[in-house]
Structures are given as structure tokens and as C-alpha cells.
Structure 1
Amino acid sequence: MAKQISTLTFFKYQSLKNKVWAFGMMQFAHAHLRNVAGLQFYKLLGSGKAGFDPRPDWSVYALLQVWDDETAADTFFENSKLVERYKQRSTEQYTLYLKNKIARGKWAGQTPFVPHKDLSETIPQIAVITRATIKTKFLRKFWKYVPTSQEPLWKNDGLLFTKGIGEVPISQMATFSLWKDQEALDTYAYQSKEHIKAIGETRRLNWYKEELFSRFQPYRSIGSWEGVAPIDF
């Protein structure tokens, strides 16, 4: 039975000094993360401005981690000196524990997510991570089309939280979204004409070098975002 779980942590920073520190940790945190016991895969991520704007949001950074099991994740968050440094510098932190339901594609040549065999029937919420490396020749066309394709997202009452994240601004982008239930997600993914058209354009133009699509069951959280927890477990 697969015990692998993933965690996604968001950090918010206010002062210029701490924003500069957070930007620097996109490079310097690797030295610590490479040696964490039980950590299979990780990505240090910046974020974009609201509305999937390609311009960086210097106040928000994220850390995606894939673990052997929940115990390894707990040990890291409870004992890591790196985590303590992030907490001291940031004004808010929010961590979601996730069990993978389905994953297709690759991230930096890897297939990091393994479907979990022990999913709860009492948790309706669903989390989605999509990630892509956009071909250089399509960058302008892709970002020009994004506002239209995302318009139905903001009209969906079932969207609990979303943020654009990524390793490299403009060309290597990901989105994280948290939904009330499967029905809310399906309404956006399969019933909005704008999103359906975006999928068609993706297939027609083949504008990604690499892409990954994954769905998760969120089952635990630590901290808050904007003063509240998007999901109350």
C-alpha cells in the first residue's frame, strides 16, 4: 500500500528585508533540503500576482515536498532548523497534507506523485496541481490567452483557494487550486467554454515542452492563510 504523501507550504513575507531573504532561499535552501530523511522530491517555488499574472509576487513563496510517509513529513516540520528560519522570517504559513489520487505527465523529467491507496470517503475537497514548461516561441501567445481561459475560475463558488506558483517566472509555471468538491472542479474543467477552448489550443499548438496534471485529497492542514484556514478539518 502506497504511503507516500505530499505537502505544500505557502509562506507570506511583509518587509523588504524578508522578501529579499526569501528570494535568496530559492537558491540557498537546496543545501539543506537535499539531505532531509524521507524526502523523495521537492521544489522551491515563487509565485505570481493575483489572477495568474506572470509578474512575480515577491511576498509569497511556496515549498512542495513529496515524502515516504506522513511520519517523515511530521519530523521535518517539527524539528527542522530550516523550517524554524522560514517561520521567523514570514508573517504567515499554511501547509496542506495531500494524498495523490491521480497524476499524469512529468516534472523535470520525473514522475514524483504515486496514487495513495488509503483515501477517505468523508473528505469531499480536492486539490489540483498543474505544471508546465512553455515553449519559448509560444510564451507571448500563452500569456495573452491566460486571462480569457481563467475567467470562469473566479465565478466558481466552489473554488476555495488558488495561487500561481513556479520555479522560473514566465516559462516554468504551475497552478495550485483547492476545491469544495469534485463537482465544483468538473464544472470549471469540463463545462466552461473558455477552459475547454484552452485545452483545445494546447493540443493544437503543442505549446508545452513538458506538462504534469495531478489531483490530490487534502486531509490535514497546519497554519492559516489571510487569517483563516481554507479547509477546516
Structure 2
Amino acid sequence: MDADHGPGPVTLHLWGVPGRSVPLAVWRLAADRRSLRRTPGLRFAKLLGTGAGRTFTPRDADPRRWALLAVWDDEATATAFDDGPVVTRWRRIADEEWTARLRPLAARGRWSRRQPFGDPRPQRWDGPVAAVTRARLTPTRTLTFWRAVPPVAVDLHRSPGLRLALGIGEAPIGLQGTFSLWESAAALNAFAYQRAPHAAVVDRTAAERWYAEELFARFAVLSGRGTVGGQDPLPTRDVVA
């Protein structure tokens, strides 16, 4: 699974499971990693737990919602995977699913020492956008990071143009991230560069040395299918082909 040689198509699967299926979801999170390593055309993949994204501590965790973020060689392999055994197994235990097709617009940093979304050239996109942030926290600075985050998280959920915001993580502690969905690049830019709580944390990042590794990526949202919490976060009419 090598994504470093350039951006490929990106997919996000988000599954909601009933309470009785939570133990199976935890099992799937571990068991499907081996299946993913054998998947043709898969460059990079992360099975993720999710949370409310309000404190980025373990108490945020939502055991009823799980995600798979993947980068592919081409559209054909991404499409084939959607009907393949890994997705089928998750659908058997899920009572809700939302799937998005994404194209990298910008990316910087690394995830597990990789550049999974390549180094895309900046380009204009007039449709909805998504952002993924991910950080591996420096253990000795985890508590100061957690104390700094709540004002940013509260402001994020109040931001105009936000459609969906989730915490994502590979482990309850130390591997933290977000997935957010926005109606436009302008709305995302306003949060990232104009909202005071976020700007303050960005200014502190270098001095505090919170991160041992970090990544930020922005995507064009090409399509979305399904629901999150009973609602479509991305109505079809908002997607630009």
C-alpha cells in the first residue's frame, strides 16, 4: 500500500452500529486490518474509531460509529472494494452507513511516516470540501494539548458552513484527529484562519511541541451516499461533479 508517489482517489466509509454490535465492531477493527493488506489497488488505509470531537480525550469516544479512510490506485479498485468482503462484513453489523468519494486538493505532513495523499498541486474547487487532521501526540505534552483543545472544538461546532465534524483516532490516547465536512472552501478557510480560538492554538503549536507527527489534508467532495445520525450531511444538489 504505497501512496507516496502521488494522490489517488480517496474514500471514506462511516458506519453506525447498534449497541448489540459494538463488540463485533471492535473485533472487525482488529481483524480487517489483515484483509486490507491483501486488497488489490489499496495504497493506504486506516480503520478508525470516532468521537464527538469536543475534547479529543478518551471520553469523546463513540463506540457506535466507526470509519475507514482509504487511498486507491484508481477509481476501478475503489469501486470494486465497495462491494467487496470488508465492506460487506461491516454492512452486516451496521444500521447506518455514509460513504464519500474524495479527491485530494492539498496535503502536508505525514501519517505513520507516510504521505498518503501525495503532494497535490493547489487547484480551485467550487463544491463542498472535507478536511482531515491527524497528529501523534508527544506523550509528555498530551495533558496540555487536551486542555487547549476544548475552546477550539466548541467554536468548530458553531462555525457557519460546517456540515459534519468528528473526532477520529487509531487508539484512545495519543493518536488524535478530525474529519470535518464543509459546504465550501470559504467556510473552511474562515474557521481555519479567522476564528480566534483556532488561531490561538495554531500559534501555540510550535512553542508547545505537542506533536511528534502531524498531517493536514483538504479534499474535494465528489459524491456522498447514505446518512449520519439519520440525515444526509451532504445533499446531492450540493455536490459538484
TM range (shorter): over 0.9
Counterparts of 2:55 and 2:77, CA distance in 1: 32
Counterparts of 1:102 and 1:119, CA distance in 2: 8
Match of 2:102 in 1: 98
2:63 counterpart SS class: coil
**Contact 2:53–2:153 (8 Å) recurs in 1:** no
Match of 1:66 in 2: 71
What displacement does 1:167 show?
A: 0.3
Partner letter of residue 225 of structure 2?
I
Deviations 1:186-229 (A, max 9, x none): 11111111111100111111110000010000101222212222
Counterparts of 1:180 and 1:20, CA distance in 2: 35
What displacement does 1:116 show?
A: 5.7
- Give unpaired runs (5+ residues) of structure 1: none
Counterparts of 1:52 and 1:218, CA distance in 2: 26
Counterpart selection for 1:188 from 181, 191, 196: 191
- Give unpaired runs (5+ residues) of structure 2: 1-5, 237-241
Counterparts of 2:124 and 2:150, CA distance in 1: 35
**Contact 2:110–2:215 (8 Å) recurs in 1:** yes
Counterpart selection for 2:173 from 167, 170, 174: 170
Partner letter of residue 91 of structure 1?
D
What displacement does 1:82 show?
A: 2.0
Match of 2:49 in 1: 46
1:6 aligns with 2:5: no
Counterparts of 2:102 and 2:209, CA distance in 1: 30
* TM-score, normalising length: structure 2: 0.89
1:128 aligns with 2:131: yes
**Contact 1:119–1:217 (8 Å) recurs in 2:** no
Counterparts of 1:161 and 1:86, CA distance in 2: 21
1:206 aligns with 2:209: yes
**Contact 1:5–1:116 (8 Å) recurs in 2:** no
1:140 aligns with 2:140: no
Matched positions, count: 229
Deviations 1:116-169 (A, max 9, x none): 679785x42110000000011111111111111223212212001010001011
After superposition, the CA RMSD in angstroms is: 1.8
Q: Rate the CA distance shift 1:118–1:221 in 2: closer, same or farther, 3 A.
A: farther
Match of 1:36 in 2: 39
**Contact 1:13–1:89 (8 Å) recurs in 2:** yes
1:76 aligns with 2:44: no
